[in-house]
Amino acid sequence: MRSKYVSLAGLFLIASVVGGAAPWRDLPACLIGKWTGITVTDPDGNLVGPEDPNDWGCMGGGASGLPVTAPAGVPVPPPPGLCLLPAYPNPTATATIVRFTLPSASQVALIAYGKKGNGPHGAFPVRTLLSGEMAAGVHAVTWDGNDDRGVRLVSGIYRVVMVVGESSVCGDVEIR
């Protein structure tokens, strides 16, 4: 009888590990599937060639979210949307800058993910770039290409995900 319970417990443990809580189901949809291509940018943030249509952008679509310029002495208005702007330089051998815009103060998480394979279970966080309350405006975070332990990541494509509330937007960075 005891071996029956041990077998059932073993099956439960295997099922829990393989299909149990499945934290991948809570990941943003952009982390599932193939990660191909990047939006190439130079060290000044200028696009070099075409944009990858699966990269970067604004939550709910729309413009880049960069604020308009204002005359001297007039404050620049908040950006019009929640946007994750193309990282630069991309690809990078050292560090890259990830910019984003917030039209109002928001709780923001900016996390870089690595990937093994193309299945839904392949994405895993490698670096939390930012997590906290941010004021409205344009923000920039520098990512040195290291993981959370300070270890340099291997060459490849990594996906940066910005999560604000229930919404998310993603962009790819190639580390060389």
DSSP symbols for 119-148: STT-EEEEEEEEEEEE-SEEEEEEE-SB-T
Please give the single-letter amino acid code of residue 10: G
Q: What's the structural domain count of the chain?
A: 1
pTM: 0.78
CATH number at residue 65: 2.60.40
Q: Does 12 fall in a domain?
A: no
Label residue 74 by pLDDT band (50, 70, 90). Answer: low
Q: Does 18 fall in a domain?
A: no
Q: Does 84 fall in a domain?
A: yes
**Cα 19 from chain centroid?**
24
Q: Does 55 fall in a domain?
A: yes
Per-residue pLDDT tens for 17-49? 333 333 555 678 888 878 878 999 999 999 898
Host domain of residue 72? 23-175
Q: Tokens for 117?
A: 């394979």
Q: Does 108 fall in a domain?
A: yes
* pLDDT value for 25: 58
Q: For residues 58 and 169, is the Cβ–Cβ distance under 8 A?
A: yes
Q: Does 67 fall in a domain?
A: yes
Q: Does 10 fall in a domain?
A: no
Closest by CA to 55, choosing from 81, 29, 37, is: 37
Cα 143 to Cα 119: distance, rounded to the nearest angstrom: 26
Mean pLDDT confidence for 119-136: 89
Q: Does 16 fall in a domain?
A: no
Q: Greater confidence, 5 or 79?
A: 79
